[in-house]
Structure 1
Amino acid sequence: MTDSEKRGPRARGSEKRRRLTAAAARVLHERGIERTTLGDIARAADVPVGNVYYYFKTKDELVQAALSEHSAHLDILTGRLDELADPRERLKGLVEAWLEQRDVAARHGCPTGTLAVELDKRADGTLDAEVGAVLRQLLDWAGHQFRALGLPDPDDLAVTLVSAYQGMSLLANALRDPDIMTREGNRLLRWLDAL
């Protein structure tokens, strides 16, 4: 009996949904919403395309799942960073995590930022608030770190930090130059040390 058979249909179903969600986040980031088909996501998840409709009735539901995936990744990252004793080190760890993704950013931009731009341009405007919630989650976490450092205007400092990341990932992507992320990330690390 295989592991899949031992787990039962419910476990296999949740595994398929998890694979589809992870694939949606990756493929939508790489190809964009309009250029991505449900078939692209099914292939990336190694799931028959007909099964996609069982879990997600529309592409918008897959976009929502991708946003949930981005939020979960952010939770994991900030949870790991919260284990560090010093808030400045947490913030620097965030920047270092961004730098580790510089090649991906140069190819595709920031996963959440690119979705935000795409969703804002759509006529229906139903999902742009959800992508804003993921960005708000990051801003709130960063603001909390600046507040723990006792710095004035911690929420404004969080906006400065996240704006810098969005700008450097946009430029790295537009110019296909990961070194922009490296240079600007190092500048952010020096800025955090100087605060």
Structure 2
Amino acid sequence: MTDSQNPRARTAGAKRQRLMAAAAQVVHQQGVERTTIADIARAADVPTGNVYYYFKTKDELVAAALAEHTRQLEIITGELDRLPDPRERLKRLVQGWVGQRELAARYGCPTGTLAAELDKRAEGGLDAEAGSVIRLLLDWVERQFREMGLPDPDELALTLVGAYQGMSLLTNALRDPEIMARQGARLTAWLDSL
């Protein structure tokens, strides 16, 4: 019997996925240091003792949160890749960021804030994993600029993703979601001008 035919394996996979999604959400809202395994278990609606079946340590849960960020980014970019025009893909990406402005005002960018927090830890190597999620976004954005035939697509990608990180940080620091809306409009106009 394959895992897809085994109800127990499907249930275990679903529980693991719930824990990963909960880890991403709770770590984003509370930060790594303030988050406990019990917080994640509660958010996933899983008994705390069951968490250790899937993840032995808090760092494994943080790595799971990063994996969930990667999965979400792949879903978003996969949906955007269905659009025929790379400029439209980038503009929709910006619209998606702006659509999350209330969340950004409260907690910042999920991956960016996590990367900054993990960079301050002395151990673990999770900071490099957070950087790899951001690298995936940069690579995808660079491909869009390359498809548009623009010179220096890597630099344009840094400009766009850097602008997002900056507007997300300012939106969060000033608790003002309209910063994200205004800067998103500027980025959209910039994309139209290229």
TM-score range, shorter chain: over 0.9
Aligned length: 190
Match of 1:170 in 2: 169
Q: Secondary structure at the match of 2:14?
A: helix
Name the structure 2 match of 1:83: 82
CA deviation after TM superposition for structure 1 residue 185, in Å: 0.4
Q: What's the counterpart of residue 39 of structure 1?
A: 38
Distance in 1 of aligned mates of 2:12 and 2:85? 41
Consecutive unaligned residues of structure 2, counting only runs of 5 or more, are none
Q: Which residue number corresponds to residue 71 of structure 1?
A: 70
**What is the CA–CA distance in structure 2 between the aligned matches of 1:172 and 1:133, rounded to whole Å?**
24
Matched residue type, 1:187: R
- The percent identity for this pair of structures is 68
Matched-pair contact (CA < 8 Å) for 2:59–2:124: no
Matched to 2:40, the amino acid is I
Distance 1:42 1:174 in 2: 29
TM-score (normalised: structure 2): 0.96
- The equivalent of 1:134 in structure 2 is 133
Task: Determine the C-alpha separation between the residues in 1 that align with 2:187 and 2:103.
Answer: 19
Matched to 2:138, the amino acid is L
- Segments of 5+ residues of structure 1 without an aligned counterpart are 1-5
1:8 corresponding residue in structure 2? 7
* 4+ residue runs over 6 A deviation: none
CA-to-partner distance for each residue in 1:49-92, whole Å, 9 max, x for gaps?
00011110001100111101001111011111111111100000
Structure 2 CA distance for aligned equivalents of residues 49 and 94 of structure 1: 36
CA contact (8 A) 2:83 2:89 kept: yes
Residues 26-51 of structure 1 show CA distances to partners (whole Å, capped at 9, x for unaligned) of 00000000000000000000000000
Deviation of 1:16 after TM superposition, in Å, equals 1.0
| 2: CA distance, partners of 1:65 / 1:30 | 15
| TM-score, L = length of structure 1 | 0.95
How far off its partner does 1:125 sit? 4.5
Q: What amino acid maps onto 2:93 in structure 1?
A: L
Instruction: Describe the SS at the equivalent of 1:34.
Output: coil
* CA distance, structure 1, for counterparts of residue 96 and residue 10 of structure 2: 32
